[in-house]
């Protein structure tokens, strides 16, 4: 358990550092907002791919409370383990935000003032989260879990562009991004609506997976996001 929790903490921290750090770099290097978003999305997509490969064999590389909760709801992850994963992911994302700020010589903590709680943004979070969860569990159910690293990175990279919210799709990263008043930040007042929308998206995805893949077993669900080394 200690190895798994450390993997979730470190993976979440590095994910937040990638998302926020690449956003800061994009803001400093480019004046055009579209180019900034392109730079941020490409870095995030590649970063996710690498992090899932790095930590997947230890913890499954969830880095996302909704992934852990849906996995537990399917019977793959014990609820007790999910209860430990979620705070590790949240604390990791907060630590990653502080790290990103420090790497660019910004104040370690700067509370974001970027309000994102519009109706379009919240609908986007429902769609982005539902799509992410359905994609992950469809790969598991069809025996293609080994493709998850590339698929998750590709999906999030694309969702930066087809959603108005730029696809947070993750309560932990949503909380972490509060602590950096930069390109990737989100104001504290927007967090609760975003997290609620993400939970709704997870619920929609859970229902869709049960309908589309009714044979999902606990043994198969244990392979989320990627197959783990059971010797650990």
Q: Which two tokens stand for residue 89?
A: 């992911």
Contact 156/117 with Cβ under 8 angstroms?
no
Domain boundaries, the chain: 2-216
pLDDT at 98: 98
Nearest to 175 by CA among 167, 187, 183, 163: 187
Residue-level pLDDT at 226: 62
Determine if residue 110 is left, alpha or beta; phi over 0 gives left, psi from -120 to 50 gives alpha, anything else beta: beta
User: Other C-beta atoms within 10 Å of 131: how many?
Assistant: 22
CATH of domain 2-216: 1.20.1080.10
Whether residue 37 contacts residue 166, with contact meaning beta carbons closer than 8 Å, is answered with yes
- What is the Cα–Cα distance from 123 to 1, expressed in whole angstroms? 36
Please answer whether residues 168 and 11 qualify as being in contact, where contact means their C-beta atoms are separated by less than 8 angstroms. Answer: no
pLDDT along the chain (232 residues), means of 10: 97 98 96 96 97 96 97 93 98 98 97 96 98 94 89 97 97 98 96 98 96 70 61 47
Supply the pLDDT for residue 232: 46
| Res 141: pLDDT | 84
């Amino acid at each position: 358990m200690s190895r798994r929790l450390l993997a979730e903490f470190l993976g979440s921290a590095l994910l937040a550092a990638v998302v926020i750090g690449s956003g800061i770099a994009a803001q400093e290097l480019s004046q055009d907002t579209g180019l900034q978003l392109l730079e941020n999305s490409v870095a995030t997509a590649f970063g996710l791919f690498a992090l899932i490969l790095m930590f997947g064999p230890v913890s499954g590389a969830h880095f996302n409370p909704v992934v852990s909760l849906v996995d537990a709801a399917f019977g793959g992850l014990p609820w007790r383990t999910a209860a430990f994963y979620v705070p590790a992911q949240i604390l990791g994302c907060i630590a990653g935000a502080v790290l990103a700020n420090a790497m660019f010589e910004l104040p370690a903590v700067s509370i974001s003032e970027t309000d994102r709680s519009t109706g379009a943004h919240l609908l986007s979070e429902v769609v982005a989260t539902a799509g992410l969860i359905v994609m992950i569990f469809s790969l598991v159910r069809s025996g293609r879990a080994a493709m998850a690293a590339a698929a998750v990175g590709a999906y999030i990279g694309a969702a930066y562009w087809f959603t108005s919210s730029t696809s947070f799709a993750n309560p932990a990263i949503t909380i972490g991004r509060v602590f950096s008043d930069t390109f990737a930040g989100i104001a504290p007042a927007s967090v609760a609506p975003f997290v609620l929308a993400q939970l709704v998206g997870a619920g929609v995805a859970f229902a869709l997976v049960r309908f589309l893949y009714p044979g999902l077993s606990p043994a198969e669900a244990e392979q989320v996001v990627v197959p783990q080394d059971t010797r650990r």
